[in-house]
Amino acid sequence: MGLIKYVKEEIAVIRERDPAIKSNMEVFLYPTFHAILKYRLAHKLYKKGHYFWARWISQRTARKTGIEIHPGATIGKGLFIDHGTGVVIGETAILGDNVTLYQGVTLGGTGKEHGKRHPTLEDNVMVSAGAKILGSFTIGENTKIGAGSVVLGPVPANCTVVGVPGRIVKKDNVRIPRNDLDQVNLPDPVLDAIQGLREENRKLREELEMLKETLKGGNAE
C-alpha cells in the first residue's frame, strides 16, 4: 500500500469514528495517526529481523504519543485508538480489521506464558476505556468490552463483557455495526441482581402483611 493511499484510509477511519473531527487536517494532529503510521514502519523492520531499530521506533513513538505498540504485534486494517494515552499492545497480540481501542486499554500477557502470550481480537471488537485483556485467547468478532473490565479468558462472538473479572452479560447473533461506539449503555449484572432482590423483597413483605391481616382476622373471631 502506498503512503498516500494509506494516509487517505486512516483519515477516513478516524473521521468515521470520531465526531470531534471537523476537517481532514485535524487528523494529522492525532496521536493515534502517528502511532499507527510508525507501527507500520516498525512492523516491517521487525519482520525483516531488524529488531533493535523496530523497537527504537516503537519506543520513541510511545514517548511522543503515549501509545505503546510492540512492532511484533499483528494489526489489521482500520484500527482506531481514541484518546490513546496509556494504550499498550503486546508483542504477540493479533488485531483484526476495524478494531477500536480507547485510552488506558492494555492487551497484555499474564507473565507466565511463552510463545503466543497476548490476546487475539477479531474484527469489529471495541474495547472501552481502561479495560485490560490479559492472556493468550480470542475475543470474538463484534464483541464490546466495557470500561474498566478485566478479561482473563476467551469471549465468543457478538458478546458484551463487563466487570472484574469480565463477565459476559449479553450474547446474540446480531452483528454490531462498525460505528456502534457506545461505551455507556451496557448491561449491569450487579444492578440487575440488586433490582431482582429488591423486587423479591417487596413481594415477600406484601405476602407477610397479608398473612398478618389473615391472622388478625382469625384471632378476632
pLDDT greater than 80 at residue 173: no
Quickly list DSSP for 98-138: T-EEETT-EEE--SS--SS-S-EE-TT-EE-TT-EEESS-E
**pTM reported for the whole predicted model:** 0.75
pLDDT greater than 60 at residue 184: no
**Section 176-203 average pLDDT:** 68
Number of neighbouring beta carbons within 10 Å of residue 176: 19
Contacts for 16 with CB less than 8 Å, ≥ 6 apart: 178, 179
Using 50, 70 and 90 to split pLDDT, how confident is the model at 2? low
Alpha carbon separation from 61 to 34, 125, 209 (Å, rounded): 8, 24, 68
Strands 138-139 and 159-162: unpaired
Cα 47 from Cα 212, distance rounded (Å): 78
Q: What is the pLDDT of residue 153?
A: 92
Over residues 131-148, the pLDDT tens digits come to 999 999 999 999 999 999
Nearest to 171 by CA among 152, 189, 147, 150: 189
pLDDT greater than 90 at residue 213: no
Distance of CA 19 to the CA centre of its chain: 19
At residue 51, the 3 state secondary structure works out as helix
Scored b (16 or more CB within 10 A) or e, 152-162 reads eeebebbbbbb
Over residues 46-73, the pLDDT tens digits come to 999 999 999 999 999 999 999 999 999 9
Q: What is the pLDDT of residue 180?
A: 57
Using 50, 70 and 90 to split pLDDT, how confident is the model at 189? low
